[in-house]
């Protein structure tokens, strides 16, 4: 059930200070509500990931947030100025309040450390009072939560399939019970069957645990199926926002229409797909369109 606002971003602008400077995000405002899945769609290079990094204070040079406010509305009733955080306060916010599953996260696991050690390290850093037995029990529970046998705690990343590695990363992101999870292309590089399993798992966990999700992808048909609201991004700006139903049934921006036309339905005029691709000047991978269908993803 969708509740009050949990994360508010206002007038965010981010620049890459290279020669010449690149304005990657330009005056973007978003509001995420409790329990909501907010889909952020757009072609590669439009600024989706940069915006997510800005909202979580993960930007690295030469990227600089030049303007904007990010406010986290905690369950305790406290409003946290994310832009003003530093040191331990920022560290706690990133995992306790908001976590992130990164693009290409299957390769984010340390290849020379077991799953157990990597999960335990989260608790050693952020839950210093936990005993070893408590860390072990919590790690096993997290793997069971995402559908991985706890015996895999002893495994190293190369011993896991791509889908298992992705599930371990989701378990790690859930380890401190965050109120918001940002997922950046979480199913990229997975085959279609595994994609469906991961998406199903995310939906189940969201229903069970009640966290809100910002789901970033260029796969608009996927977002139409799973999201409550969708924001369509182009050239660093939000060009259209609305419910998933509104975006699918009645898009108002030509860019959104072209983005939808880039993914043909399983039936219908193939020529419409070709025209859509020609007009947008982009080559996007084909996938079915409409509620109840999930498109395929490629690398962003």
Whole-number pLDDT of residue 273 = 43
Rounded CA-CA distance 185/203 in Å is 15
Whole-number pLDDT of residue 152 = 97
Whole-number pLDDT of residue 270 = 55
Residues in the chain predicted with pLDDT less than 50, given as ranges, are: 272-300
Domains contained in the chain, CATH given: 5-280 (3.40.50.300)
Contacts of the segment 253-261: beta carbons below 8 A, 24+ positions apart: 255/280, 256/220, 256/232, 259/41, 259/42, 259/43, 259/220, 259/232, 260/220, 260/221, 260/289
Whole-number pLDDT of residue 269 = 61
**C-alpha dist (Å) from residue 51 to 14, 48, 272, 289:** 8, 5, 32, 26
Whole-number pLDDT of residue 282 = 41
Whole-number pLDDT of residue 92 = 83
């Amino acid at each position: 059930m969708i509740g009050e606002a949990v994360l508010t971003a206002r007038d965010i602008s981010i620049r890459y200070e290279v020669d010449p400077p690149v304005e990657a995000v330009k005056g973007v405002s978003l509001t995420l509500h409790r329990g909501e899945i907010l889909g952020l769609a757009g072609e590669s290079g439009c600024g989706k990931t940069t915006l997510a990094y800005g909202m979580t204070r993960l930007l690295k040079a030469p990227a600089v947030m030049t303007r904007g406010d990010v406010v986290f509305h905690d369950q305790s009733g406290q409003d946290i100025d994310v832009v003003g955080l530093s040191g331990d306060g920022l560290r706690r916010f990133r995992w306790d309040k908001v976590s992130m599953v990164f693009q290409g996260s299957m390769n984010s696991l340390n290849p020379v450390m077991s799953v157990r050690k990597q999960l335990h390290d989260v608790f050693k850093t952020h839950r210093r009072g936990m005993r070893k037995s408590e860390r072990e029990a919590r790690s096993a529970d997290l793997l069971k939560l995402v559908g991985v046998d706890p015996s895999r705690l002893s495994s190293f990343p190369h011993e896991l399939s791509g889908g298992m590695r992705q599930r371990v990363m989701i378990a790690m992101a859930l380890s401190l019970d965050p109120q918001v999870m940002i997922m950046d292309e979480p199913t990229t590089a997975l085959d279609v069957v595994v994609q469906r399993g991961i998406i199903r798992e995310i939906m189940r966990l969201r229903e069970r645990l009640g966290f809100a999700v910002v789901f970033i992808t260029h796969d608009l048909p996927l977002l139409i199926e799973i999201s409550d609201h969708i924001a369509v991004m182009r050239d660093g700006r939000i060009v259209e926002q609305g419910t998933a139903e509104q975006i699918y049934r009645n898009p108002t921006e030509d860019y959104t229409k072209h983005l939808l036309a880039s993914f043909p339905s399983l039936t219908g005029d193939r020529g419409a797909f070709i025209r859509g691709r020609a007009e947008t000047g982009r080559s996007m991978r084909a996938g079915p369109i409409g509620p109840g269908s999930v498109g395929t993803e490629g690398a962003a």
